[in-house]
Amino acid sequence: MAESIGIVGYGVDVPRYRIKASEIARVWGEEENRIVNGLGLSEKSVPALDQDAATLAVEAARRAVRHSGINPQLINSIFVGSESHPYAVKPTATIVAEAINAAPVLFAADHEFACKGGTAGIINSYALLKSGEIEYGLGIGTDTSQGSPGDALEYSAGAGAGAFIVGKKDVIAEIKGIYAYTTDTPDFWRREHAIYPSHGGRFTGAPGYFKHVQSGAKGIMEKMGTRPSDYAYAVFHQPNGKFPRTVAKQLGFTPEQIAPGLITPLIGNTYSAASMIGLAATLDAAKPGDKILVTSFGSGAGSDAFHIEVTDKILDKRNPLPVLEVIKHKIYIDYGTYAKHRKKLIM
């Protein structure tokens, strides 16, 4: 039997603050129903004033370490994907490494690939494992992204982090195959020093999200010789509540297959963390033998796809802090407090 490489622990963090779409709509004179139905989400998470992509990454990583039960000194690689790293120059991975006590002997770097920098981090750690260079590796997706005031993105841009530790011992979900699809597509971008991103409006849909997610998902299924019906669950990047439902249908997956991993409708789009929190929630619900297809998406544009198979180990290694438990503690705020939290005021 070939050695198995896969997930040995995972953790997520989501800020407790929430703002309702109806509250944002009220401020901008938009019709609430049009927004809620159009985006398929009714509220989003908002970071506290003292939370950023690094603090969320640290909390998620600490939970992943706790779940895995491993000595963090054995984590030999940390890659952190985000489009809201606190520093332009000074890696978030250095902060995480120190905060989980994995420093100093490890490979570390930050990634940026819009919403798929986190899955790219899992792939890097997977590759180092496969080449025998490390014992355990960590991939993190974390974001506190912003939409400019009044823009459609303001209703969906949430905050959160997902962390996955990969290794070869006590694997709860084996990563059996990976695939990636990348093109130069100008669907969404943010220049250095710009606070808010720019996007191509409707252009972000068809040539951006749908083309890449479809190509990624079809590519991994072709590589593995599988069909949608072979999978117990599927997780797609979820910039809103609508896109993942649509792409699942286009690819031939049922609403039931994507249900446990559809978390954006509850907390907003967590960007680099979105597909990873979706995978975490799916693993919370999965049984031994379940096959899970994961396809992330990052604007610019590309998709990473994974074929994952849940092992018997998951039965005695359930996550002590499931995603639904993390996100159920909520503190609602109004738009004024939200503007203060997101530093949208110029004083």
Give the other-Cβ count within 10 Å of 346's Cβ.
4
> Shortest Cβ distance from residue 305 to other proteins (Å)?
32
* Gap between the Cα atoms of 279 and 282, Å rounded: 5
Residue 110 near other proteins by CB under 8 A: no
Q: Which stretch binds other proteins (CB under 8 A): 26-34, 50-58, 152-160, 247-255?
A: 50-58
Of the residues 23, 43, 85, 115, only one is catalytic, namely 115
The binder of other proteins chosen from 54, 138, 234, 274 (CB under 8 A): 54
* Alpha carbons 291 and 301: distance in angstroms, whole number: 26
Count the helices and strands in the chain (H runs, E runs): 13, 14
List the catalytic residue out of 23, 43, 59, 83. Answer: 83
Report if residue 59 touches other proteins, rule: CB under 8 A: yes
Q: Which residue lies nearer to other proteins by CB, 17 or 113?
A: 17
Residue from the set 31, 98, 133, 334 that interacts with other proteins by CB under 8 A: 98
Q: Which residue among 95, 175, 213, 221 contacts other proteins (CB under 8 A)?
A: 95
Is 341 noted as a catalytic residue in this protein? no
Environment class of 57 (CB within 10 Å of its CB; exposed 0-12, middle 13-18, buried 19+): buried
**What string marks each residue from 148 to 187 as x (binds other proteins by CB under 8 A) or -?**
----------------------------------------
144 vs 204, which CB is nearer to other proteins? 144
Applying CB under 8 A, the site for other proteins has a residue count of 22
Cβ-based neighbours of 347, under 8 Å, separated by 6 or more:
none
**Residue of 67, 237, 307, 341 marked active site:** 237
Binding mask 115-154 for other proteins (x = CB under 8 A): ----------------------------------------
Q: Which is nearer to other proteins, 102 or 122 (CB)?
A: 102
Q: Which of 70, 95, 51 is nearest to 10 (CA)?
A: 70
From the list 346, 20, 38, 302, the residue with the least C-alpha distance to 158 is: 20
Identify whether 154 is a catalytic site residue: no
In the complex, the smallest distance separating the C-beta of residue 99 from other proteins, rounded to whole angstroms, is: 5
Beta bridge partners of 304: 180
Interaction of residue 75 with other proteins, rule CB under 8 A = no
**Options 42, 45, 55, 215; binder of other proteins; rule CB under 8 A:** 55
Distances (CA, A) of 123 to 130, 314, 341: 10, 21, 33
ω into residue 301 within 30 of 0, thus cis? yes
Strand partners, 161: 13, 142
Q: Given candidates 222, 252, 331, 336, which one binds other proteins under the rule CB under 8 A? A: 331
- Closer by beta carbon to other proteins, 242 or else 341: 341
Q: Does 34 bind other proteins (CB under 8 A)?
A: no
CA-CA-CA-CA torsion sign (30, 34, 40, 43): positive
Residue whose C-alpha is closest to residue 87's, from 17, 192, 196, 198: 192
Which helix (H) or strand (E) segment holds residue 156: the answer is helix 153-156
340 binds other proteins (CB under 8 A): yes
Residue 62 makes contact with other proteins by CB under 8 A: yes
CA 308-312-318 angle, to 5 degrees, is 85
Rounded CA gap, 268 and 19, in Å?
Answer: 10
Beta bridge partners of 45: 18
Q: Residue 332 interacts with other proteins (CB under 8 A)? A: no
Residue 145 Cβ, how far from other proteins at the closest point, in Å?
A: 17
Query: Could you tell me which stretch among 91-99, 113-121, 175-183, 287-295 binds other proteins (CB under 8 A)?
Result: 91-99
Q: Say whether 199 is catalytic.
A: no
Pairing of strands 17-20, 331-332: parallel
Q: Footprint of other proteins on this chain (CB under 8 A)?
A: 16-17, 48-52, 54-55, 58-59, 62, 86-87, 95, 98-99, 101, 329, 331, 340, 343
Catalytically active residues, by annotation: 83, 115, 237
